[in-house]
Amino acid sequence: MRSVPGAGPGASSGAEASTINRVRRVLAIKPFRRLWGVTYLCSVADWLNILALTGLATKLTDNYFAQNFAFVGVVLTGLAPGLLFAPVGGLLADRFDRRKVMVVSDLLRCGFLLSIAFVSAPWWLLAGNFLVGSAASMWIPSKEAAVPNLLRRPDQVETANQLGMVMTYGLAVVTAAGANAILTGINTNFLHVPGEDTSLRIAKLVVVITALLYLASAILIATRIPELSLRNVHALPEQKVKQADEEKLGIGTMIADGFRFIRTTPLVRGLLVGAFGAFAAGGAVIGSAKPYSSSLGAGDSAFSLLVLAVFVGLAAGMAFAPKLSRRLPHDRLFGVSIIAAGLSLALVALSPHLSVSLITVVLVGFWAGTAFLTGVTIIGSRVEDAIRGRINAIYQLMMKLVLFGTTVTVPVLVGVLGTRTFNVWGGKVSVDGTRPIMFAGAVIALVAGLFAYRQMDDKRTEPILADLRNALRRTPRRVNGFLVAVEGTTAINTAIQAVNLADWMRGGTRPVVVAADPALDDQRLAALVSGASLTGARAQALAAAAVRADIVERHVQPALDAGSVVVMERFVDSPLAHLSAVAGLDSDELEGLADWATGRLRPDLTILLDAAPNGAPRDKTASMNDQWRVQHLLTEMAAADPDRYVVIDADGTDTEVAERIRTALRAVFVGRLAALAPTSEKPVTLPLETLTLETPEEPRVEAK
């Protein structure tokens, strides 16, 4: 069986299986699953609140101007509290029990909405909605700060945020719109009772139902999710803020400490500056969207198409962000996404036609969605629990302030600039004010993205353009070096093929290094286990991870940094499969341990030797069945990430298997990877007794 990365029907199904598995693992956590349900209730209530109060406002006044202002008034009074009280919500999230803060906020929202329904006065509708928004400003930072503490591992934060956004901006919107349409259509389609009083009562009923949704959320949080009160579940290695000290500080000191943390932490400083640039660019697009659509001369439908394109891009960006983060670390991906959004926005500003604008606007939305999800993930997984609420609040506050400010000022600037006519090559070209505004937003995003990229990652070895190409490439590659792993159930087979492969690839233009001698590594591991008297499976797994970390740090990474091709047998997959199948350890925990030991280093290409263990069919012996389980797990890994694997039929002689590997790799080493392919096709056949392995620092040692 042979397959080439990216080829064949298994590619899409493997990627889909990987995504489904990540979602299942997160939803298998009961406290998070319950919070996800509560998020659904509150999100439905939030969207229904806008629709319900808008409908009620139009029923409470006969003034035509006031009725037209109803929607804008409801939106502004709901948005304004976030601009004023978001930092206070962050302080409450860091100072007090987050579960209690959320319960009190939900009860306040329920009470204020019920008062709106019973008072039935236009002035109190706006005032009450302002108070509802104020309570929401207290609820959101506590919820966002608590999510990471409900998860088993920090790397699940991204998937959890993705699920939350799907619920908030997908299912909840559809549910709220559908429920509002059904409830408000009762009088028209079912009761057929004329008169304003009936429609007014129905509008109040919708408001009451919205209030009851918040009440249900408060009850569920108070009785079913006590884990929301947890703190520091995933403590970071270097804590700059101590929770015990926070409890003794006043509000003023906590605010000062929050800004001091931002000033002294490059990761967070770069995150907020990059977010400012991204939100400014987004505000420039929102504020100039209507006149920009008119400048394209495509009619009134152009505006709707552009709005649809933005949201399609946002959804796609949030969906593909986890896949991109496997190619780039989050701290790099955040800056790269903002830079890509700025470049896309510049193309929008220069676009001469609606068809070009739609494509470039989708790109802007895609990179904006990627940046937003990545930013929230960084806060959840890389910011200390003691200050996470304040950082979340500042992030949300900055988004609302910048979007609100740019949305208000951009139309004014567009009007001031007006339409200018220029002579270009003897012809007249008209440029309206939206083009320079969008171009200025693109420049701001580029500068902010570059700053964020520089601040958030101080251990770069690759230029930013290389990172950007790596994020876009179907099969990402390492710029400085290329890592090839040979995996399989039998150590003898992997040793033979690793050395054969290395000798064959030495015919290319890059130096080739066999990273380590498995026999020496086994001796080191045996000495470590026996010297420390380690008998438990988990303890031995930790010792194996320590040996693997030393190999990566001393041999693999320096060779990659020098630009070499590194061939290594049984890098991560085979040890993982063996420990999971034979020792019975949890595969998720082992994967996290391997990520830590290798610094999340993964091969650019993995060659999986697919053969029946020892060439024999499945039998009743325990050892043989263990080998079958190992092989089964290895094939599952290949199916889950087909872009990174070449599966080789390993039945036959060593020479036949080596020829199959070379045939498969010739199809892989094309285009930019052509330099890795050897220029000569001299056959290489090495019997086992002559096999030798080498490391960058140790002499050649005979394989065992």
Decide: 287 and 280 in contact? Cβ < 8 Å. no
Residues 409-420 have a mean pLDDT of 79
Structure confidence by residue, pLDDT tens digits, 430-486: 677 888 888 988 999 999 998 988 888 654 545 666 666 665 665 444 546 788 888
Decide: 240 and 363 in contact? Cβ < 8 Å. no
Which among 398, 412, 392 is positioned nearest to 279, based on CA atoms?
398
Answer whether 28-231 and 477-518+565-702 agree in fold.
no
- Joined together, the tokens standing for residue 286 give 């929102």
Please count the helices (runs of H) and the strands (runs of E) in the chain: 27, 9
Q: Quick one: 477-518+565-702 is in which CATH superfamily?
A: P-loop containing nucleotide triphosphate hydrolases (3.40.50.300)
| DSSP code of residue 241 | S
Structure confidence by residue, pLDDT tens digits, 645-687: 788 887 888 888 888 888 888 877 775 566 677 765 554 444 4
φ, ψ at 591 (rounded to 5°): -65, -40
φ, ψ at 702 (rounded to 5°): -70, 130
Q: How confident is the model at residue 43 (pLDDT cuts 50, 70, 90)?
A: very high
Does the domain made of 235-476 have the CATH classification 1.20.1250.20? yes
pLDDT given for residue 128 in this prediction: 92
Structure confidence by residue, pLDDT tens digits, 58-109: 788 776 556 666 766 787 788 788 777 777 888 888 888 999 999 999 999 9
- Indicate whether 349 pLDDT > 80: yes
Structure confidence by residue, pLDDT tens digits, 134-178: 999 899 989 988 998 898 877 788 888 888 888 887 788 888 888
pLDDT given for residue 243 in this prediction: 47
Residue 517 half-sphere exposure, CB side, CA atoms within 13 Å? 18
**420-424 and 565-569 beta bridge pairing:** unpaired
Q: Residue 269: what residue type?
A: R
Q: Measure the CA–CA gap between 371 and 363, rounded to whole angstroms.
A: 12
Structure confidence by residue, pLDDT tens digits, 264-305: 888 888 888 888 888 887 777 777 877 888 788 766 677 778
**244 exposure class (CB count in 10 Å sphere: 0-12, 13-18, 19+):** exposed
* More confident position, 579 or 99: 99
Does the domain made of 28-231 have the CATH classification 1.20.1250.20? yes
- Indicate whether 573 pLDDT > 70: no
pLDDT given for residue 218 in this prediction: 96
- Indicate whether 220 pLDDT > 90: yes
Which among 135, 179, 162 is positioned nearest to 36, based on CA atoms?
162
pLDDT-wise least confident of 163-177, 244-258, 341-355: 244-258
Decide: 443 and 342 in contact? Cβ < 8 Å. yes
Q: Measure the CA–CA gap between 375 and 275, rounded to whole angstroms.
A: 8
The domain spans of the chain are 28-231, 235-476, 477-518+565-702
Long-range contacts of 462-471 (CB under 8 A, 24+ apart): 464/335, 464/336, 464/339, 467/328, 467/332, 467/336, 468/336, 468/339, 468/340, 470/327, 470/328, 471/324, 471/327, 471/328, 471/333, 471/336, 471/340
Decide: 217 and 109 in contact? Cβ < 8 Å. no
- Joined together, the tokens standing for residue 634 give 């290895």
Q: Residue 302: what residue type?
A: A
Q: For residue 697, list its beta bridge partners.
A: none
Q: Measure the CA–CA gap between 482 and 492, rounded to whole angstroms.
A: 24
Q: Measure the CA–CA gap between 306 and 81, rounded to whole angstroms.
A: 29
Q: Measure the CA–CA gap between 293 and 304, rounded to whole angstroms.
A: 9
Which among 158, 27, 102 is positioned nearest to 389, based on CA atoms?
102
Q: For residue 565, list its beta bridge partners.
A: 482, 512
